[in-house]
Amino acid sequence: MSQTVFVLNGPNLNLLGTREPEKYGHSTLADVEKLCRATAARFGLEVDFRQSNIEGELVTWIQEALIKKAAGLVINPAGYTTTSIAILDALFMLKAPVVEVHITNIHQREEFRHHSYVSKAAKAVMAGFGIDGYALAITGIAGMIGAKAK
């Protein structure tokens, strides 16, 4: 049975590639999804890729990852990074590895972006690699769960 990595994206990321390309690049979220699927496939992993502008929906999806025994979870919490204890509490319930991704280097940006609640539940954090951070996160999860390249 194949293993699935959940890739969750927070608010406004549905607009990726259409605004502020100097910060976030020109790739769209559909491009990110393709990259995630291609990366996961190298390790025989499936991807369940989602985006929501609603905090509670993200919480419900994290619970779904728990129920479905996801192999790992990649999350770009976007604007909820610095505010959401509800997302943090849901992530704490997962046994599978969680990797937090930010397209930009949040530590080089405004002070209010530096603190992440999500990091408390993350095995690793990728920030500043652009969308390649998602591929690095999936590769990292593959290593953590012992999934070998095919």
- Asked if 115 is an active-site residue, the reply is no
**Pick 43 or 100: Cβ nearer ligand CA2:** 100
Site for ligand CA2 contains 34 (CB under 6 A) = no
Q: How far is the CB of 128 from ligand CA2 (least distance, A)?
A: 8
Under rule CB under 6 A, residue 113 binds ligand CA2? yes
SS3 of the chain: CCEEEEEEECCCHHHCCCCCHHHHCCCCHHHHHHHHHHHHHCCCEEEEEEECCCHHHHHHHHHHHHHCCCCEEEEECHHHCCCCHHHHHHHHHCCCCEEEEECCCHHHCCHHHCCCCHHHHCCEEEECCCCHHHHHHHHHHHHHHCCCCC
Binding positions for ligand CA2, 61-100, rule CB under 6 A? 76, 78-79, 81
C-beta of residue 133 within 8 angstroms of C-beta of residue 102: yes
For residues 75 and 80, give the distance between their C-alpha atoms in angstroms, rounded to a whole number.
11
In one-letter notation, the amino acid at residue 57 is: E
Choices 18-26, 34-42, 46-54, 55-63 (CB under 6 A): range interacting with ligand CA2: 18-26
Give the nearest distance from C-beta 123 to ligand CA2 in angstroms: 18
User: In DSSP terms, which residues pair with 46 in a beta bridge?
Assistant: 4
Q: Is 106 in the site for ligand CA2 (CB under 6 A)?
A: yes
| Residue 24 a catalytic site member | yes
Q: How far is the CB of 12 from ligand CA2 (least distance, A)?
A: 4
42 vs 109, which CB is nearer to ligand CA2?
Answer: 109
Of 4, 72, 88, 102, which lies in the binding site for ligand CA2, with binding defined by CB under 6 A?
102
- The residues annotated with a catalytic role in the active site are 24, 102
Please report, as ranges, the residues that interact with ligand CA2 according to CB under 6 A: 12-13, 15-16, 18-20, 24, 76, 78-79, 81, 102-104, 106, 113
